[in-house]
């Protein structure tokens, strides 16, 4: 078995500690000015990465993060980051309940559809007809996949950020909050499944199946887990939570199931995130999964794995060098226009007033952590270039920061 | 029949009660329950048989009615055809205020997904429904009633119907339950919240729910009935079902659904579906008929 040398291990542990310490400091400071936690983590990544630290002291940077010089370090950190993204998708799935979407009927349906269809359609059309704006080659090998990806990237929402915004605005338990959450559930479930499908098509060149085969695999796996899997979970979770030690038993069981599902989807050449996401959906939907277990799982992932992943985004590229104002502008316009108008029209058709519909649109516009994960995975898969990656990260930040004030503006009767 | 009269008609008093008759072992107890309820509410009673009309069945029904004290003046309808469609039509035609049905506490998985008459009607009925899980000869007692106090415009009429039912059936304890769904809370607070903030948010949710119950009760005529206010944190529908089981309620009162529930709602259950999946006790589904002006 190949092992990390003592020196490699020391560097790896120091790098992880620094990422965790600085991201915690940034999050705590950011919290005082109302900044989302993920933004603090990203800023730390940019500061520690090639953009600032790597430019000012290149030697110190390559010593702390020897990605190119030390293959062992790179591999070990990559494994940790892969685990991080798998667990992030798992806890996202834990919180999404499709029944929430069903519960809110017509308004949630029209808002959910509107907030997906318009962003997806507008981004797809733009990427398809003007690929050169994103440095893509028309009719090139990734032209269609890139167009599909951009559409998906624009249609996804970030439930963690949205939930936090609604909680801070005391809207989480209101009708408008419920519609936003229900629509975000729809966006995320459809968005992540679509994204997994796109990634599986990227993998086609490395042994993946045909388009139809991948679609069938995804559908069969999702239906199996959400019907049979849930049935088994509803019978096994009460036993696990009462007969095995608490919370060790349920944590070990849930995480094992998550990793098994992730391994399975990776094995069939669909990305591991789909398995983790669907496992989260199946476990989180069970009424027998205790709220305390859910909280522990969230704390565990959000405070250890999430900072590592979001800091690593800043380590990937030089944000100043690859900042392209035109691409950023297009991505921002697409994101705001598609989501706000699409969700707004949907909510209006669902019976909401114009102002409340716009508030719903801006609420769903927050992309936050989910967009960053999506962008990062697409970048790693070679689906997007550095300029688009930077633009997506900036879009995720801008939409998250502007969501709350714009919602407040449209909900304030005085305006 | 002028169907417009149905629009805006309040869910109580129960002027016309109908019993769905099936020729099973529960025929006699159900007839007894219906008689008991009709007497308590001073309502007209109608019997609707969804089984095929045969001379044997007619005789059996006649004899059982006699035994349970139901007179000949009670109308018996044998509609035939699809039971749910026929029952919906009869309820509308006869302006039924309360339809009483016998229902199993739990059905087999196949029957649950395909849908039984009782469950099917619960998802579609345009009048209030009383599902009786254990009908008794001599009539059930409704000493402890649990009523769902969800944020919905139907809730105040439902609460008032529940108190009306309680007053006329000798209930002594009414539990008004507010369910608080915690979806998104763990996710929203996992990153940058202190323990103090977390407990403050939960306390606030709890207090808001208690205030909502108090406000709702303020709109009702509780009378002498002892009211217990309860806030449950968890999955709506499932939590109140557990609560009704745990406190050994005799009746659970809920709002009728806004839209017709389908197979997808059974696969991804929510709200009333958790209750229909396993009835904790007798269940009263109150249907409030709103007009555009209400």
Q: Classify A210 as helix, strand or coil.
A: coil
CA B225 to chain A, closest CA, distance in angstroms equals 30
CA B249 to chain A, closest CA, distance in angstroms equals 21
Q: Which domain-ending residue is among B137, B160, B176? A: B137
Instruction: Scan for tokens 């989180």, then name that residue.
Output: A284
Domain for residue B287, yes or no?
Answer: no
CA A43 to chain B, closest CA, distance in angstroms equals 16
DSSP assignment letter at A338: I
Q: What is the mean pLDDT of residues A5-28?
A: 93
* Pairing label, strands B251-255, B226-233: unpaired
Residue A84: closest CA among A366, A272, A267: A272
Residue B97: closest CA among B5, B14, B2, B1: B14
CA B130 to chain A, closest CA, distance in angstroms equals 23
> Number of residue pairs across A and B with CB atoms under 8 Å?
84
Tell which wins on pLDDT, A241 or B8.
A241
| Whole-angstrom Cα Rg for chain A | 21
Q: Both B227 and B171 in a single domain? A: yes
**One digit per residue, pLDDT tens: chain B, 294 residues?**
455 566 677 888 999 999 999 888 889 999 999 999 999 999 999 999 988 889 999 999 999 999 888 888 889 999 888 888 899 899 988 889 999 999 988 887 777 777 778 888 888 878 899 999 999 988 889 999 999 999 888 899 999 999 999 999 989 999 999 998 877 777 777 666 777 888 888 888 889 899 999 999 998 887 788 999 999 988 899 999 999 999 999 999 999 988 778 888 888 888 888 999 899 999 999 998 765 444
Q: Both B30 and B127 in a single domain? A: yes
For residue A282, give both structure tokens.
Answer: 């199946």
Which of chain B's residues have a Cβ under 8 Å away from the Cβ of A95? 183-184, 186-187
The confidence score (pLDDT) of residue B211 equals 93
Number of separate domains in chain B: 2
Domain for residue B30, yes or no?
Answer: yes
Kindly determine whether residue B184 and residue A181, on different chains, have CB atoms separated by under 8 Å. yes
For residue B2, give both structure tokens.
Answer: 């002028």
Domain for residue B74, yes or no?
Answer: yes
% helix, strand, coil for chain A, step of 5: 80, 0, 20
Which of chain A's residues have a Cβ under 8 Å away from the Cβ of B184? 95, 159, 162-163, 166-167, 172, 181
Q: Classify A360 as helix, strand or coil.
A: helix
pLDDT, tens only, A40-55: 898 999 999 999 999 9
Domain for residue B80, yes or no?
Answer: yes
Q: Give me the phi and psi of B13, to 5 degrees please.
A: -70, 160
Helix (H) or strand (E) holding A293: helix A291-300
CA distance A267 to B265: 32
CA distance B145 to A212: 54
Q: Both B5 and B133 in a single domain? A: yes
Domain for residue A4, yes or no?
Answer: no
Number of separate domains in chain A: 1
Q: What is the mean pLDDT of residues A312-320?
A: 90
Q: Please answer whether residues B250 and B145 qualify as being in contact, where contact means their C-beta atoms are separated by less than 8 angstroms.
A: yes
Whether the pLDDT of residue A152 is over 60: the answer is yes
CA B218 to chain A, closest CA, distance in angstroms equals 21
Q: How is B256-273 classified by DSSP, letter by letter?
A: PPSS---HHHHHS--THH
Orientation of helix A291-300 relative to helix A248-267, angle to 10°: 60
The confidence score (pLDDT) of residue B202 equals 84
Return all residues near A267 (Cβ < 8 A) that are at least 6 apart. Answer: none
Confidence of residue A206 (pLDDT cuts 50, 70, 90): low
For residue B13, give both structure tokens.
Answer: 């008093």
Kindly determine whether residue B208 and residue A173, on different chains, have CB atoms separated by under 8 Å. yes
DSSP assignment letter at A301: I
Q: Give me the phi and psi of A259, to 5 degrees please.
A: -70, -35
Distances from the Cα of A77 to the Cαs of A14, A73, A177, A308, A332, in angstroms?
12, 6, 38, 9, 31
Domain for residue A30, yes or no?
Answer: no
Best mutation target among B153, B183, B194, B231 (most A Cβ atoms within 10 Å) is: B183
The confidence score (pLDDT) of residue A61 equals 92
Strand partners, B252: B146, B283
Whether the pLDDT of residue A390 is over 60: the answer is yes
Q: Both B18 and B105 in a single domain? A: yes
Q: What is the mean pLDDT of residues A84-112?
A: 86
Q: What is the mean pLDDT of residues A226-252?
A: 90
Best mutation target among B186, B211, B263, B272 (most A Cβ atoms within 10 Å) is: B186
Residue A103: closest CA among B68, B255, B283: B255
Is the dihedral angle over the CA atoms A26, A32, A37, A42 positive or is it negative? negative
Q: What is the mean pLDDT of residues A343-358?
A: 92
Read off the CATH number of the domain in which A401 is found.
Answer: 1.20.1530.20
The confidence score (pLDDT) of residue B61 equals 92
Orientation of helix A105-129 relative to helix A342-349, angle to 10°: 150
Residue A383: closest CA among A394, A392, A375, A391: A375
Q: Which domain-ending residue is among B137, B154, B177? A: B137
Q: Which domain holds residue B145?
A: 141-250
Read off the CATH number of the domain in which B131 is found.
Answer: 3.40.50.620
* Pairing label, strands B173-180, B16-21: unpaired
Which of chain B's residues have a Cβ under 8 Å away from the Cβ of A103? 270-271
Confidence of residue A26 (pLDDT cuts 50, 70, 90): very high
CA distance A216 to A411: 43
For residue A24, give both structure tokens.
Answer: 């915690």
Residue of A31, A100, A302 lying closest to B183 (CB–CB): A100
Question: Which of A94-108, A286-300, B63-77, B93-107 is predicted with the least confidence, judged by mean pLDDT?
Answer: A94-108
Best mutation target among A157, A167, A297 (most B Cβ atoms within 10 Å) is: A167
Strand order in the sheet with B144-148: B75-77, B44-49, B16-21, B98-102, B128-132, B282-286, B251-255, B144-148, B173-180, B226-233
CA distance B128 to B11: 7
Residue of B187, B259, B267 lying closest to A95 (CB–CB): B187
Minimum CA–CA partner of B185 in chain A: A163
Domain for residue B292, yes or no?
Answer: no
Residue B174: closest CA among B165, B184, B185: B165
Kindly determine whether residue A302 and residue B184, on different chains, have CB atoms separated by under 8 Å. no
The confidence score (pLDDT) of residue A195 equals 92
Distances from the Cα of B136 to the Cαs of A96, B27, B97, B102, B186, in angstroms?
43, 10, 22, 11, 45
Q: Please answer whether residues A108 and A186 qualify as being in contact, where contact means their C-beta atoms are separated by less than 8 angstroms.
A: yes
Q: Both B27 and B128 in a single domain? A: yes
Which of chain B's residues have a Cβ under 8 Å away from the Cβ of A163? 184-185, 187-188
Residue A402: closest CA among A370, A359, A348: A359
The confidence score (pLDDT) of residue B294 equals 45
CA distance A300 to B186: 12
Q: Both B69 and B132 in a single domain? A: yes
Q: What is the mean pLDDT of residues A348-376?
A: 91
Q: Both B52 and B150 in a single domain? A: no
Q: Both B211 and B152 in a single domain? A: yes
Q: Both B117 and B219 in a single domain? A: no
Q: Which domain holds residue A346?
A: 76-411
Residue of B190, B205, B270 lying closest to A302 (CB–CB): B190
The confidence score (pLDDT) of residue B41 equals 94
Q: Classify A34 as helix, strand or coil.
A: coil
Residue of B188, B234, B274 lying closest to A167 (CB–CB): B188
Q: What is the ipTM of this complex?
A: 0.78
Q: Both B119 and B170 in a single domain? A: no
Q: Both B113 and B155 in a single domain? A: no
pTM for this prediction? 0.85
Average predicted confidence (pLDDT) for chain A: 89
Helix (H) or strand (E) holding A28: helix A6-32
Return all residues near B294 (Cβ < 8 A) that are at least 6 apart. Answer: B8
Q: Classify B283 as helix, strand or coil.
A: strand
Domain for residue B294, yes or no?
Answer: no
Give strand ranges (E) for chain B.
16-21, 44-49, 75-77, 98-102, 128-132, 144-148, 173-180, 226-233, 251-255, 282-286
The confidence score (pLDDT) of residue B152 equals 87
Is the dihedral angle over the CA atoms A304, A308, A310, A311 positive or is it negative? positive
CA distance B266 to B82: 21
Kindly determine whether residue B184 and residue A95, on different chains, have CB atoms separated by under 8 Å. yes
Residue of A37, A95, A105 lying closest to B183 (CB–CB): A95
Domain for residue B276, yes or no?
Answer: no
Domain for residue B17, yes or no?
Answer: yes
CA B199 to chain A, closest CA, distance in angstroms equals 13
**Is-cis flag, bond preceding A390, omega within 30?**
no
Which of chain A's residues have a Cβ under 8 Å away from the Cβ of B191? 27, 37, 160, 302-303, 306
Orientation of helix A6-32 relative to helix A71-95, angle to 10°: 40
Residue of A102, A181, A299 lying closest to B183 (CB–CB): A181
Domain for residue A23, yes or no?
Answer: no
Whether the pLDDT of residue A334 is over 50: the answer is yes
Kindly determine whether residue A302 and residue B271, on different chains, have CB atoms separated by under 8 Å. no
Q: Both B182 and B128 in a single domain? A: no
Kindly determine whether residue A303 and residue B190, on different chains, have CB atoms separated by under 8 Å. yes
Rounded (10°) CA dihedral A269, A274, A275, A278: -150
The confidence score (pLDDT) of residue A4 equals 84
Minimum CA–CA partner of B191 in chain A: A302
């Amino acid at each position: 078995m190949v092992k990390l040398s003592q020196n490699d291990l020391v560097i790896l542990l120091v790098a992880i500690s620094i990422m965790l310490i600085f991201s915690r400091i940034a999050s705590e400071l950011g919290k005082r000015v109302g900044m989302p936690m993920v933004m603090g983590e990203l800023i730390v990544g940019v500061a520690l990465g090639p953009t600032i630290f790597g430019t000012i002291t290149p030697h110190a940077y390559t010593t702390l993060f020897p990605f190119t010089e030390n293959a062992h370090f790179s591999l070990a950190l990559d494994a940790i980051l892969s685990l991080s993204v798998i667990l992030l998708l798992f806890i996202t799935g834990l919180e999404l309940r499709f029944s929430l979407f069903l519960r809110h009927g017509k308004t949630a349906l029209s808002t959910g559809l509107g907030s997906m269809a318009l962003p997806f359609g507008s981004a797809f059309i733009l990427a398809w007809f003007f690929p050169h704006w994103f440095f893509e080659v028309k009719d090139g090998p990734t032209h269609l996949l890139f167009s599909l990806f951009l559409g998906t990237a624009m249609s996804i929402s970030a439930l963690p950020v949205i939930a936090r915004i609604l909680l801070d605005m005391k809207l989480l338990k209101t009708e408008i909050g419920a519609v936003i959450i229900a629509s975000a559930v729809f966006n995320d479930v459809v968005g992540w499944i679509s994204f997994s499908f796109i990634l599986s098509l990227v993998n086609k060149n490395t042994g993946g199946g045909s388009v139809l085969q991948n679609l069938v695999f995804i559908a069969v796996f999702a239906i199996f887990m959400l019907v049979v899997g849930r049935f088994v979970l509803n019978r096994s979770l009460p036993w696990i939570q009462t007969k095995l030690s608490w919370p060790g038993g349920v944590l070990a069981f849930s995480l094992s199931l998550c990793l098994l599902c992730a391994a399975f989807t990776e094995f069939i050449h669909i990305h591991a995130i789909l398995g983790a996401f669907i496992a989260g959906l199946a476990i989180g939907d069970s009424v027998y999964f205790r709220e305390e277990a859910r909280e522990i799982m969230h704390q565990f992932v959000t405070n250890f794995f999430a900072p590592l992943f979001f800091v690593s985004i800043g380590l990937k590229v030089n944000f100043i060098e690859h900042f392209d104002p035109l691409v950023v502008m297009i991505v921002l316009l697409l994101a705001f226009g598609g989501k706000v108008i699409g969700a707004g029209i949907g909510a209006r058709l669902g019976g909401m007033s114009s102002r409340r519909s716009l508030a719903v649109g801006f609420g769903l516009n927050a992309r936050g952590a989910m967009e960053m994960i999506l962008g990062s995975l697409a970048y790693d898969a070679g689906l997007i270039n550095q300029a688009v990656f930077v633009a997506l990260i900036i879009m995720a930040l801008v939409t998250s920061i502007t969501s709350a004030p714009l919602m407040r503006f449209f909900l304030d009767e005085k305006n | 029949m002028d169907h417009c009269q149905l629009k805006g008609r309040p869910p109580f008093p129960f002027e016309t009660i109908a019993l769905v008759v099936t020729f099973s072992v529960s025929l006699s107890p159900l007839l007894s329950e219906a008689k008991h309820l009709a007497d308590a509410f001073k309502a007209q009673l109608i019997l609707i048989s969804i089984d095929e009309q045969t001379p044997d069945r007619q005789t059996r029904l006649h004899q059982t009615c006699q035994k349970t004290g139901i007179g000949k003046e009670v109308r018996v309808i044998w509609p035939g055809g699809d039971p749910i469609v026929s029952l919906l039509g009869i309820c509308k035609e006869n302006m039924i205020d309360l339809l009483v049905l016998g229902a199993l506490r739990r059905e087999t998985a196949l029957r649950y997904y395909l849908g039984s008459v009782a469950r099917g009607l619960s998802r579609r009925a345009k009048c209030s429904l009383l599902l009786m899980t254990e009908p008794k000869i001599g009539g059930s007692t409704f000493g402890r009633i649990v009523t769902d106090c969800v944020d919905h415009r139907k809730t105040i009429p439902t609460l008032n119907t529940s108190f009306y039912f309680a007053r006329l059936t000798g209930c002594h304890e009414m539990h008004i339950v507010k369910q608080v769904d915690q979806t998104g809370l763990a996710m929203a607070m996992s990153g940058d919240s202190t323990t103090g903030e977390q407990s403050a948010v939960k306390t606030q949710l709890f207090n808001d729910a208690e205030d909502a119950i108090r406000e709702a009760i303020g709109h009702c005529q509780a009378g002498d009935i002892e009211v217990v206010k309860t806030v449950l944190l968890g999955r709506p529908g499932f939590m109140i079902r557990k609560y009704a089981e745990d406190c050994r309620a005799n009746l659970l009162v809920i709002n009728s659904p806004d839209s017709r529930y389908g197979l997808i709602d059974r696969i991804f259950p929510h709200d009333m579906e958790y209750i229909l999946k396993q009835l904790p006790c007798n269940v009263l589904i109150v249907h409030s008929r709103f007009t555009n002006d209400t």
